Copies of this chain bind each other. A is one copy, B any other.
Amino acid sequence: MEIRTEVKQMKACAPFVASMSAESRNHALERIACRLKEYEQEIFEENRKDLLAAEEAGIAASVIKRLKFDAGKLGDVFKGLRQLQTLPDPVGKITLRRELDEDLILERVTCPIGVIGVIFEARPDALVQISALCIKSGNCAVLKGGKETANTNRILFRVIHDSLVECGFPEKSLLQAELHNEIDELLECDDCVDLLIPRGSNRFVRYIMDNTRIPVMGHSDGLCHIYVDADADLKKVLPVIVDAKTQYTAACNAVETLLVNRSCAPAFLPAISEELKKNHVRIRGTKEVMELLPESGWAEETAEEDFREYLDLIVSVKLVADVDEAIDHINRNGSHHTDAILTENPETAKRFMNLVDSAGVYWNCSTRFADGFRYGFGAEVGISTGKLHARGPVGLEGLVTYKYRLCGNGQIVGDYAAGKREFHFRDLL
């Protein structure tokens, strides 16, 4: 069946999925966990096919590691599913209850967004985690995973989908898109799909953002900064920078540019370059920076204003006069993802955190903390660098919206316009 036809059917059943009880949604998560356990051998078997194909295709070992779905990964998946059941229900929360007038009660209540399209990288565990978040939040989801794990995705989807139907969810609560051209079909469904969450390379996410009228939540770039202030504690600084750069270089929250206060550069630069060299991190510094570095092959000069997201063992280094120049540089050149200041001066830290216009503003810790699990959200569908709806790591709260309920007894606006009646706003919460 054409994906558009299926998504239309999903849209029609979304309100019913949205109104299912928290109990049945949690029960479905439990059922999914049991069924995955039941089918684990078949799942591992399908995954072996994907891994074999990947090896034959000569895919890099680092990538293959992400394709692998073994007992360990399945164990994490179970943990995630169980934890998700214990999290409070994001749906049906009354966030406003106001008496507008006698017998005229306004309520604002959280509800699922509806139909969410998720396009994610080749990671089987991502498929389970994303489906689980959508189920917990009462949303319908169209899932398109990476083709490198097609076999694993297919069986995981079947197990999850069948578990949902067993628990009384409509057939069309969850859809799988398998063909790449279905992505473009999906982008056209702006009358049925309420939100798109693309995960993957910058170029891919940018392509999605540029080719649909559906709202997109996510981030294309992750150009994160660390500003080393004049009042920084150098002992504290070195491990934080190394962690932010090397703990997982491919992550969007890894640091890409170091801004160093000119006054402490002479003392700081040789130390950090030594530390970075030990960790195989190459420096791309401005002329001024290079002059402060000992002769070395692992540092090279860059043109001014050439700052990139490397996702690799490379870091740009630039000197600034003060915190304000750092703030200005970050707001102009950054991706509004996560930026940190390292200083022992609370006033300077406060200024930085107030004026840097990013989803995450950190003081004396690694940018790598920008993550739904580390924030205690239980899980995340992604990290948003947009400012509307959800910003930063997005968990369950980012998957719900709200509606206003107004209950009356025949009230008409004309009476209020004519002054026959008056509103007396009284909050009941």
Select A360's contact among B14, B365, B404, B423, beta carbons within 8 Å.
B404
Find out whether the CB atom of A388 lies under 8 angstroms from the CB atom of B113: yes
Q: Which 6 residue pairs of A and B lie closest in terms of their CB atoms, listed nearest first?
A: A365-B408, A243-B412, A376-B425, A368-B413, A236-B410, A388-B389
A19-B354, A349-B407, A363-B405 are known contacts; what are 18 more A-B pairs with Cβ within 8 Å?
A12-B332, A15-B327, A15-B331, A18-B357, A113-B387, A195-B388, A217-B388, A242-B412, A358-B403, A360-B404, A360-B406, A361-B405, A364-B411, A365-B406, A366-B412, A370-B404, A391-B402, A392-B403
Whole-angstrom CA separation of A423 from B377 in the bound complex: 12
Nearest B residue to A248 via CB reads B413
Select A369's contact among B195, B233, B357, B406, beta carbons within 8 Å.
B406
Does A305 have its Cβ within 8 Å of any Cβ on chain B? no
Find out whether the CB atom of B404 lies under 8 angstroms from the CB atom of A363: no
Does A43 have its Cβ within 8 Å of any Cβ on chain B? no
Which among A113, A240, A405 has the highest number of chain B CB atoms within 10 Å? A405
Whole-angstrom CA separation of A237 from B247 in the bound complex: 65
Find out whether the CB atom of B366 lies under 8 angstroms from the CB atom of A417: no
Nearest B residue to A95 via CB reads B397
Report whether over half of chain A's contact residues are helix, strand or loop; otherwise say mixed. Answer: mixed
Does A416 have its Cβ within 8 Å of any Cβ on chain B? yes
Task: Give residues 228-245 of A contacting B (CB, 8 Å).
Answer: 233, 236, 239-240, 242-244
Find out whether the CB atom of B375 lies under 8 angstroms from the CB atom of A100: yes
Whole-angstrom CA separation of A21 from B391 in the bound complex: 23
Q: How many residues of A contact B (CB 8 A)?
A: 78
Does A185 have its Cβ within 8 Å of any Cβ on chain B? no
Instruction: Spot the interface stretch: A46-54, A125-133, A207-215.
Output: A207-215
Does A355 have its Cβ within 8 Å of any Cβ on chain B? yes
Whole-angstrom CA separation of A116 from B240 in the bound complex: 36
Closest Cβ–Cβ distance, residue A315 to chain B (whole Å)? 16
Closest Cβ–Cβ distance, residue A366 to chain B (whole Å)? 5
Residues of A bordering B, CB below 8 Å: 12, 14-16, 18-19, 98, 100, 104, 106, 113-114, 194-195, 209-210, 213, 215, 217, 233, 236, 239-240, 242-244, 247-248, 327-328, 331-332, 349, 353-366, 368-370, 374-376, 386-389, 391-393, 401-414, 416-417, 423, 425
Find out whether the CB atom of A14 lies under 8 angstroms from the CB atom of B357: yes
Find out whether the CB atom of B100 lies under 8 angstroms from the CB atom of A410: no
Find out whether the CB atom of B392 lies under 8 angstroms from the CB atom of A353: no
Whole-angstrom CA separation of A331 from B191 in the bound complex: 11
Find out whether the CB atom of A98 lies under 8 angstroms from the CB atom of B408: no
Select A413's contact among B366, B375, B413, beta carbons within 8 Å.
B366
Residues of chain B lying within 8 A (CB to CB) of residue A19: 354-355
Whole-angstrom CA separation of A411 from B328 in the bound complex: 26
Residues of chain B lying within 8 A (CB to CB) of residue A194: 387-388
Residues of chain B lying within 8 A (CB to CB) of residue A215: 215, 386, 388
Residues of chain B lying within 8 A (CB to CB) of residue A217: 388
Closest Cβ–Cβ distance, residue A359 to chain B (whole Å)? 6
Find out whether the CB atom of A12 lies under 8 angstroms from the CB atom of B408: no
Find out whether the CB atom of A413 lies under 8 angstroms from the CB atom of B243: yes
Which among A104, A365, A409 has the highest number of chain B CB atoms within 10 Å? A365
